[in-house]
Structure 1
Amino acid sequence: MKNWFTILLLIILGKSVLAQGDSAFQLVKTYPFEVADAMLDNLDNLYIITPQDQLKKYNINGDSVAAFNGVKRFGKLHSVDVSNPMKLLLFYKDFSRIVMLDRLLTVRGTIDLKQNNIMQASAVGASYDNKIWIFDSYEYKLKKLDEQGSLLQETSDFRILFDQSIVPQQILDRDGLLYLYDTTSGLFVFDYYGTFKRKLPLSNWNSIVIAGKNVLGISNNGINNYSTATLMESRYMFPQNFLRYYRYSLSQNKLIALSKNSVSIFSYRH
């Protein structure tokens, strides 16, 4: 009798956990087409990269508003920063080049990093004042550039600042602070002058997002939420029906999930 009670209790608890996972994600919209990658800006505009290497933009109503056909013109695309809808940053890591697009996906400028004495960059991010942050992984320095690629400021060599190797894959400029994320070493927080503030012990996350006092990221089939106020971490597991998705990314309050032939957008709580 006790064994049956234990089994019943586990079933009830299992359903409860699953229900909590389901209720954490609410479907907003599904686009029925195949894509290679997708991201949302803070105005909920959707950007997709097609298998034909075209970058397309859709507004919040799902209307196609712009397209950029030159994705592969500068080599293999490494990342797209859409944090500033007025200026997208396309980063071509292997070719040390940044391409800037306006809100209609028209090229507004390019930066050849090697011509500006940056031989090897690992990450690029938009700054709050319309400039560009970049991590020079050859000199191990965080640098700030203008749209012409001229150096505005830089930090000291990170090999002097830290006793561990740091090569960030993501740079985020949010609410007066700068976040550099290295999937192995964690999240490093700086002020706008490049002064180190603290390190957050977060590793092996993807698609890092800063939302107020929360740091969110995708890891092990769920969303992790780390509160910088309480130093506590919570987690929302993806429900079973998410098994059809093969890639995820986050915006401030949305989850983008890619399947073989669709893009689905979910709201989520944090």
Structure 2
Amino acid sequence: MGRLNIFLAIVFCGYSFQLKALTDTTLRIQHIKSINGSFNNFSVDNLGNIFLITATNQIKKLNNNFDSVGIFNDVKRYGNIYTIDVSNPLKVLVYYKDFATIVMLGQQLNNRNSIQLRGQNIFQVKAIAQSYDNNIWLFDEVDNTLKKIDESGNLLLETSDFRLLFEDNATPQSIIDMNGLLYLYNSKKGWTVFDYYGGLKNQYPITDWQDVQVTDNYLRGHDSIYYYMANPKQLQYNNFKLPTNFTNAIKLLLLQNKAYVLTKEGLEIYSIQ
């Protein structure tokens, strides 16, 4: 498909708001499993499969019984893994920022395809995400535009320059495609929400979160003290005080009644009571 420039309509409700806390309790947990090792990162898909990125840039896949079911061991070709998107269990996106390369892996972590972004005149990208229609979203930091490309790297959609649209333009650190909307997050600016045609739907100035997620109608994330679940449409949020052994976590995700906590020693898994 050809290049399509989309102008973002400023259609969000331009009001200031303050979320009301519904709960303020300590997160109740019970330890399930320790996976010892030196891991730089991890992710968990919606089937409960765990993807561990080792210090040597291997990817190890464990099923929901913690059995090893796959490994990606091509560690020399692309350098360090910057991020991984496992929102589609059948197609895992692995992004190598230093080489501007996206590698697509199959269910068994076999190499299906790769995209050299520089060959598409895209030279600087931090955030990528799987799209609802099996394509790829990314934010081009040179052009300051949100783009959608296909598996061959062809440009499908592109917004206008964010510097023309936002006075406080900030590069997104995360992109999440969920519930028919596209969520961009920057820890200093907060959430910016678009529809699939590039129309701006809303902005939520919820800042200083880490490891952000979107599930159902909730925006999720944490700081060093609390884990938050915000429903901005209802101006409400739940916050749970983190247990003391979570405060030194490298990464923390809460999914399907489990808490996954990455530390220097490995990955700790808890059930949420």
Q: TM-score, normalised by structure 1?
A: 0.86
Give the aligned partner of residue 53 of structure 1.
57
The offset of 1:48, in angstroms, is 0.6
Written as runs of structure 1 = structure 2, the 5 A alignment for 1:93-108 is 93-108=97-112
Equivalent residues of 1:40, 1:251 under 8 A apart? no
1:71–1:250 CA distance, 2 compared to 1 (3 A): farther
Q: Which residue type is aligned with residue 175 of structure 2? A: I
Q: Which residue in 1 is equivalent to 2:17? A: none
Whichever structure has more helix as a proportion of its residues is 1
Q: Distance in 1 between matches of 2:43 and 2:35?
A: 13
Structure 1 Cα separation of the partners of residues 245 and 147 of structure 2? 43
CA–CA distance in 2 between the matches of 1:144 and 1:225? 28
- Choose the corresponding residue for 1:34, options 25, 33, 38: 38
* 1:169 paired to 2:173: yes
2:194 is matched with: 190
Max Rg structure: 1
The one-letter code matched in structure 2 to 1:204 is D
Q: Identity percentage over the alignment? A: 40
Which residue does 1:7 correspond to in 2? Answer: none
Q: Which residue is equivalent to 1:203?
A: 207
Residue 258 (structure 1) aligns with = 262
Long gaps (5+) in structure 2? 1-23
Corresponding residue to 2:252 among 235, 244, 249: 249
Q: Which amino acid aligns with 1:248?
A: K
Number of aligned positions between the proteins: 249
Residues 267 and 163 of structure 1: CA distance in aligned 2, closer, same or farther (over 3 Å): farther
Deviation at 1:134, TM superposition (A): 0.5
Question: SS at 1:37's partner residue?
Answer: strand
Root-mean-square deviation (CA, aligned residues, Å) is: 1.8
More strand by share: 2
> One-letter code of the match for 1:206?
Q
Please report the TM-score for the alignment, with normalisation by the length of structure 2: 0.85
Structure 1 runs (4+) greater than 6 angstroms displaced: none
Distance 2:85 2:48 in 1: 14
1:84 aligns with 2:83: no
Q: For 1:213 and 1:68, how far apart are their aligned partners in 2?
A: 34
How far the C-alpha of 1:94 sits from its partner, in A, is 2.2
Deviation larger for 90-99 or 40-49: 90-99
Residue-by-residue CA offset, 1:97-123 (whole Å, 9 max, x unaligned)? 111111111111111111101121121
Structure 1 residues without counterparts, runs of 5 or longer: 1-16
Contact 2:172 2:186 in 1 (8 A): yes
Greater RCO structure (CA 8 Å; 6+ sep): 2
Q: Report the CA distance between 1:213 and its aligned residue.
A: 1.2
What secondary structure does 2:39 align onto? coil
1:151, CA displacement in angstroms? 0.3
